[in-house]
Amino acid sequence: MKKIFAMLAAIFFCGAMMISCNKDNKEENPTFPTKADMVGTWEGTFTGTATLGKASENYTIKWTLVLNPEGSSTVGSLKYTASFATMQDITGQVPVTDYYTKQNTNIGRILIAGGSNFGLLDEIIDFDMNLTAKTLTGILDVYTSTDDDSIRLGGETTLHKK
């Protein structure tokens, strides 16, 4: 009888160890960002070099993305200011018409209507979201033209929640 009791106790002990200490449980049910996680003001900069005419010009673009909570009078906006050493600054602000997260991913998406009127050709911009670091990373581009050239400014930019 003692052997049966000891064997049952060992089986229950081993079974309890296998169930209660399951580290993989969290990986099976990952937490993905929600639309509410995107709400707020996000800022970031991109520094690059563009060829204007025959000369290289260093520039910096400051981006500000504002996403308002559901039920607000406006959805949000994306603003940029491109600063140059020898040229006049270029600024623009476009309304965000919608934003959301792609289901079961860390991807957030914003929709912009008429962005080309403000120098943006992309009407959909995807961001990799990192909730721990409070960052959105995506490709943010502005197109402008001079007398001679059409110029693309920007690239992969990380925005930080303010």
Residue pLDDT, tens place only, 51-60: 877 788 899 9
pLDDT given for residue 3 in this prediction: 65
pLDDT averaged over 10-residue windows placed end to end, the chain, 162 residues: 59 58 57 95 96 85 97 95 89 94 96 79 91 95 77 94 94
Nearest Cα neighbor of 67 from 113, 110, 17, 20 is 110
Bridge-partner residues for 46, per DSSP?
Answer: 61
pLDDT given for residue 147 in this prediction: 65
Structure tokens, 146: 């001079």
Please give the backbone phi and psi of residue 116, each rounded to the nearest 5 degrees, phi first: -65, -25
Give the contacts of 90 (CB within 8 A, at least 6 positions apart).
80, 81, 82, 84, 119, 142, 144, 153
- H-helix segments, 21-162: 25-28, 35-38
pLDDT given for residue 117 in this prediction: 73
Instruction: Say if residues 161 and 41 touch (Cβ distance below 8 Å).
Output: yes
Bridge-partner residues for 95, per DSSP?
Answer: 77
Supply the pTM of this predicted model: 0.79
Amino acid, single-letter form, for residue 131: L
